[in-house]
Amino acid sequence: MIARGMFHLARSAAGEEISVYHLQAGIAACHCAAKDYASTDWGQILSLYDRLVELDHSPVVALNRAIVIASLHGPKAGLEAIAAIRDLSALSTYYLLHAVLGEFESRLNHAQAAAGHFRKSLQLAEIKSEQIFLSKRLQACGENAPLV
- What is the pLDDT, as a whole number, of residue 145? 60
Q: What is the pLDDT of residues 87-102, one digit of tens each?
A: 999 999 999 999 999 9
Give the CA distances from residue 2 to residues 26, 32, 73, 82, in Å, rounded to whole numbers and listed in that order: 12, 7, 29, 32
Q: What is the dihedral of CA 61, 67, 48, 36, to 10 degrees?
A: -130
Tell me the average pLDDT of the chain: 91
Residue 11 has pLDDT above 80, yes or no: no
DSSP assigned state of 83 = H
More confident residue, 64 or 19: 64
Residue 2 has pLDDT above 70, yes or no: no
Q: What is the pLDDT of residues 29-82, one digit of tens each?
A: 899 889 999 999 999 999 999 999 999 999 999 999 999 999 999 999 999 999
Give the residue-averaged pLDDT of 11-38.
Answer: 84
